[in-house]
Structure 1
Amino acid sequence: MSTDLFSEVLNFPDPDAQQRFAALVGVEEVKQRLVSEALMLLDHQIVITWSERHHGNAIRAVNELATRPPLIILAGDVGTGKTELAETFVDAVARRMHVNGTLYTLSLAARGEGAVGQMSTLIGNAFKIVADESRASNHSGKPSKISVLLVDEGDALAQSRELIQMHHEDRAGVNALIKGIDGLKRHNTPLLVVLCTNRLGALDPAVKRRAAYTVTLQRPNDTQRRLLLSELLDDIALTDNELNHLVALTGPVDGHDFGYTYSDLRQRLVPEAVILGVTYNVPLSYQILTEAVKRVSPTRPFAHKGEGKAI
C-alpha cells in the first residue's frame, strides 16, 4: 500500500479509540445517529431484515435507501470535535458489526504538486487502494471488515467548482472525488467516506448533494459545557454555584457572541489551570480555574457568516 497517500492508518477495535469516543460528551444524539447511518451504509442487510420483519418483504423505500452514496459530512467550527468524532466512531461501528475496521486518513499529498492530471490520478489511486483492501465478506454476504476513508479539511479538496478563479487541477480533483464516491455506491463496497470541513458553504454542491448524512457540530451550549466541565473536574471540590459560574465564564461573554469550544476546554483551559496549580504549588481550585479563564481566550470562529445552517 502506498503510504504517501495516507497520513494515518488506524485499525479497530481499539481500546483507546473506544475511550476517546465515550469521552465526547454533549453530542450523544450525533454519535448515535452517526453510528446508525454508518451501519446501514456499510451493511444494507440490516435494513432489509428490518423491512422483512415489519412489512413481510423489502419495501420500495428500503431499495431507495440502498442507492445513497456512502458519504458522511461532518461540518462545524474549529474545535467542535469533528476530527475526533471521525477518528473514533469507527471503533463503535466495528464493535456493533463484530468485524475489524480500518481508518485511512487521506494525506494532503493527494492534492499533488500541480502537474496536469496528477491530483485526479492520486485521488483515484487512493480510492482504489482502500476499496481493494475493503472487498471482503463472509459466507452470509455480510462484510467481514469495514473501512473508512477520512478526508479532513475537506474544503481544501472538495471546494466548489463554481468558483471562477478555481484552477483546472482543482476542478479535476473534485471530479475525481465525486467519481470515487459514486464508484463505491455502484460496487457496494463496505467503505465509507467521511469528509470534515470548517466551511460547509465552500463545498461543491455535487459533493454536498451526495452526502447520506450531514451534520454541523456546534460549540457547546451551557448544558454541554457544564457536563464536560463536571467530567473534567469531577475530583475537584467545586460547589454548584462555582461550577455554574465557570460555565457562564466560558460562554459568550466580554462582548463575544461565541464561547469556548470543546477543545478549548479540554486542551487549553484545564491544562492551563493545572500549570498554574503547579507553578503556585497549590491545589486545583475554583480560584485557580477562574484565573485560567482570564489567561485563556476562546478560539475565534473560523467559518464566515452564512456558510451553512447548523442542524
Structure 2
Amino acid sequence: MTQNSVFDNKTKTILSDITLTAREKTLLGFEQRFARVNDQLRLLLNLTDLATWSIQHHQQKLQICHLVAEQYPLVIFHGDVGTGKTANAECIANRLAKESRTEESLLFKLSNNVRGSGRVGEMGTLITQAFAEVIQSAGKTRRAFLIIDEGDSLAASRSQEHSHHEDKVAVNTLIQCIDDLRRSGGRVVVFLCTNRLSVLDAALLRRAAIVEEFSRPNDSERGDLFKLDLAGLQYSAVELAALVKATGSREGRPNWTYSDIRTRLYPAALARAFPNKPLTMTDLLNCANELRPSPVMEDK
C-alpha cells in the first residue's frame, strides 16, 4: 500500500476550489452553520497571532492567550447518516481558504484504506504516515485541512469490551497525532465526521475545540430543499406540502435525510419520466410513497 492511497481520490485538493464553492450553494443552512463556527475556526487557524493581538489591545500577553493557544485543532461533526457532515466540512474548509486570501490551502480526505490489511501495527503506521504527509504539505507557508470521514471506525472508545488491540493502538496514534498538531500553530485543522458521537474515545472528545451536531431536515427544511432543488418544475403549494408530508416521519419511519432525497428520491422520479415525458410532482410523490428513508443510525 502506498502512502498516497490512504487519501481519497487525489492526494490533495488545492483550495479554494470552484467545485466546492458551487456545492456550498446546494447545502441547506450552510451560511448559518458557517457563521456559527467561523469565529472559533478563525481562532484555531491563527493561534500564532494571539500574542500580537493581546499586546495591541491589552498592552501585554494575557494569560488566557497561553491557555487558548494550547487548544487542539480538532473539529467534530456528528449526526445521522446522510445529514451533510462531510459535504459541510469540505465546503467550510473551502470558504475559510477563500476568505483568508493570504496563503494557499490544501484539503485532504482520509480513505478507509488507512485501516490497512490487518497486519500488526499497520493501521497505526498508516495514520502516522497520513498526518506526516499533511503536515509536510502544509509546511511553513500553507494551511491544510484533513477530513476524517466515518471517524468512529478509527476513534472508537478504547474501553469497549470488543475493542481489538489494533484498534486501541490506532486510537492512541490518532490522539498523539492530533496532540502533535498543536505545534503547527493552526496550520493544520482536522475535521472528524461521525454518525455515532457516543462511541468516540473520551480522550478525543475532550480535545475537540468544536462539536457540531447535524440532524435530519424537519418539515420546513425539506420544504426549502425542494424549492431549491425543484426550481423550474411546475407545481402547486398543495403538491409541495404533500411531498413534504410524504418525506416526513410516519408509520414508525423517520424523516428522510438530505441524502435520501437527493440520491434516491430524485433519481427514482427522473427514471420514471426520462426519456419520454416531463418530470411531474406526481412522479416524485409516487416514489416518495413507495421508497423508505434510511434507518436511523443508533448512537449508543
Letter in structure 2 aligned against 1:65: V
**For the residues of structure 2 that align with 1:52 and 1:247, how far apart are their CA atoms?**
54
Residue 95 of structure 1 deviates from its aligned partner by 0.7
TM-score (norm 1): 0.87
Q: 1:148 aligns with which of 145, 150, 162?
A: 145
CA contact (8 A) 1:135 1:189 kept: no
Aligned residues of 1:276 and 1:292 also touching (Cα < 8 A): no
The answer to whether the Cα contact below 8 Å between 2:5 and 2:111 also exists between their aligned partners in 1 is yes
Q: Which residue of 2 aligns with 1:95?
A: 98
1:287 and 2:282 matched: yes
Alignment correspondent of 1:24: 27
Aligned counterparts of 1:217 and 1:121: Cα–Cα separation in 2: 31
The equivalences for 1:101-250 within 5 A come to 101-137=105-141, 145-250=142-247
Q: Does 1:272 align with 2:265?
A: no
Alpha-carbon separation, structure 2, partners of 1:149 and 1:274: 35
- What residue is the counterpart of 2:7 in the other structure? 6
- Correspondent of 1:65 among 60, 68, 87: 68
**One-letter amino acid of the counterpart of residue 31, structure 1:** F
Aligned-partner residue type, residue 273 of structure 1 = A
3-state SS, counterpart of residue 4 of structure 1: helix
Unaligned runs of 5+ in 2: none
Q: How much identity, in percent, do the aligned residues show?
A: 36
Pair 252,55 (structure 1): closer, same or farther in 2 beyond 3 Å: farther
- Give the superposed CA RMSD: 2.1
Letter of the 2:127 counterpart: I
Instruction: From the superposition, tell whether residues 110 and 286 of structure 1 become closer, same or farther in structure 2 (CA, over 3 Å).
Output: closer
Provide the rounded CA distance (Å) in 1 between the counterparts of 2:23 and 2:193.
18
In structure 1, what is the Cα distance between the partners aligned to 2:262 and 2:53? 40
Deviations 1:176-200 (A, max 9, x none): 1000000011342500111111111
1:31-82 per-residue CA deviation (whole Å, 9 max, x = no partner) reads 2233433322112256667656765555433432222100011111110011
User: What is the CA–CA distance in structure 1 between the aligned matches of 2:157 and 2:280, rounded to whole Å?
Assistant: 49
Q: Secondary structure of 1:293's partner?
A: helix
1:302 corresponds to which of 292, 297, 300? 297
Cα-to-partner distance string for 1:77-115 (whole Å, 9 max, x where unaligned): 110011111222221011111132211122222222333
